[in-house]
Amino acid sequence: MNRVIASLGREEVSFSHLAELIEKDTVLGGNILKLVNSALYNRRAEVSSIRYAVSLLGVNKLRNAVMGMSVARMWTTMKSPPGWCARQFNMHSVAVAVLGDLIAQHVPAVFEEGAFAAGLLHDLGRLLIASSLPDEYTEIMRRYDEGGGTLYQCERSVIDTDHAEVSVMALVAWNLPRQIRAAVRYHHSPQDDPTPLTEGRTVRLSALLAAADEYVDHLGISVTPKNMATDAPTPGRYLALVGDAAGQANDVFEQEYEAIKAFF
């Protein structure tokens, strides 16, 4: 999977090369076939060839699928404390990734090609805190549930940092692009993101990610049910940053989300 993702990052890559790499991983190959044969693509005849499946998906969709599946496989190996719901975390992460990628097709965002990865990994710090610091995580959630402030404030009161900063530590270690790191770092405060806007790009990736995160939370796809009431008290505060793009993306969001969430 690492080789597949690396090859997808190159400007020129042949479908035959990608298919050859995917065929070497039985699980990944099977999941790619399952995805291309899902209701999302509405194929009249079943696709049984990896090479044909790769050509049907295209580079961008294939990159997102491979990244999502590889991250899902990694997450299943991590331990978490009582009260942590892995399924809710997975569903929220993939929903933000899918919606963010769709919104990026409707707004001129900086480094729009990183929207899926940013969405998929934006809350990674929450998982790392829960799995690595279970006692502290339990105390964070106790304070949060008792109205001790936003999740950010509760995290900082217990461990002197927050899940966005912890997420970025992992993304730096994995050498992900700085634009994705900035989006993840500022997805709760895009107004503080220092990333410069380039010519023709009017929206920062952090703002796009914040809007997708907010929209998904208000659909009820949250890591914790309280998120919607406490951490997003003003519906639409970030959605306004992307105009009508979230509504336009929602037209196909449900189909794409249903197709890919089966792998999480």
140-159 pLDDT tens trace: 999 998 988 888 899 999 99
Cα–Cα distance for residue pair 13/30, rounded to 1 Å = 22
12-35 pLDDT tens trace: 778 888 888 888 888 889 989 998
Q: What is the pLDDT of residue 10?
A: 67
Count the neighbouring beta carbons within 10 Å of the beta carbon of residue 142: 13
200-222 pLDDT tens trace: 788 899 999 999 998 898 888 88
User: Could you give all domains of the chain from N- to C-terminal order, each with its CATH number?
Assistant: 1-69 (no CATH), 78-263 (1.10.3210.10)
Say what the pTM is: 0.86
Supply angle C-alpha 85, 26, 120, rounded to 5. 35
3-class secondary structure, 221: coil
Could you tell me the CA-to-CA distances from 62 to 8, 13, 148, 243, 260 in Å, in that order? Answer: 8, 12, 42, 28, 11
Whether 176 contacts 184, CB under 8 Å: no
